[in-house]
Amino acid sequence: MKLKLSIAYDGTPFAGWQSQAAGDAVQDVIERALQKISGGRIVLHGSGRTDAGVHALEQCAHFDGEGPLSPNDWQRALNANLPPTVRILQAEEAAADFHARFDAKGKIYRYVVRNAPVLSPHEVDRVWHVPHDLNFEWLHDAAKIFEGRHDFAAFSANRGGTVRDTHRTVREVSVSQDGTLLTLTFEGEGFLYKMVRMMAGAAVRAALGREDVESLRRRLVGPGPRWNHVAPACGLYLVKVLY
């Protein structure tokens, strides 16, 4: 039986989603729980990576399970064997040919900024604290230039030409403000390594008056110089994987 998992996690203590040699990634933690429950090694396949420190409201993964456990049994057993920083929100049976990564049609990410002189200790590792004056209209205008299909080579940290095509389609970017809390939401077919954090960093620098919007736009027409201002991982959330 193939099981599809919806997973939420606090990324602060982990070295990202993908399994690491040190065994300190979210995938490692869940695979150890699967082995404890099943008595054998089970490989978990995620929809894609998240960086160290990035959070997930609903990551998706699948695995092939054997035995008498129902999806609800798997959910309860996993949550009983996982740290409180990782929760299985739902476990359900999937089609035999389902693949969490290859069947994904898109993703939604949210980036959160607290634009206030002082950051509450309850928001540490949850938001990017920007204490300087920020222009919301400039933030909105800069964020919206990323909509559409562009060459995002300048807004990617992919190394050594491992990605042949750096064109991506960003379907929608929305920007909202609730007092001093600013939220940028990106929906797209897929994102390059650190692309969302680079877009968020670019929009915030424009809002601070440290970057011209047109200079950002020019970086989208070809593989110009890489954008070097990457927003901190702590403000980024994987909201949903679209199927």
Q: Which residues contact 6 (CB under 8 A, 6 or more apart)?
A: 58, 59, 60, 88, 89, 90, 91
* Nearest alpha-carbon partner for 77 in 29, 27, 34: 34
Q: Are strands 167-178 and 181-188 parallel, antiparallel or unpaired?
A: antiparallel
**Length of the chain (residues):** 243
**CB-count exposure of residue 177 (10 Å: 0-12, 13-18, 19+):** middle
Alpha-carbon dihedral of residues 61, 65, 70, 76, nearest 10 degrees? Answer: -60
Instruction: Answer yes or no: 141 catalytic.
Output: no
10, 24, 28, 51: the catalytic one is: 51
Report the distance separating Cα 4 and Cα 138, nearest Å.
Answer: 41
Cα atoms in the Cβ-side hemisphere of radius 13 Å centred on 98 = 21
Q: Which residues pair with 63 in a beta bridge?
A: 3
Report the distance separating Cα 30 and Cα 81, nearest Å.
Answer: 9
Active site (catalytic) residues: 51
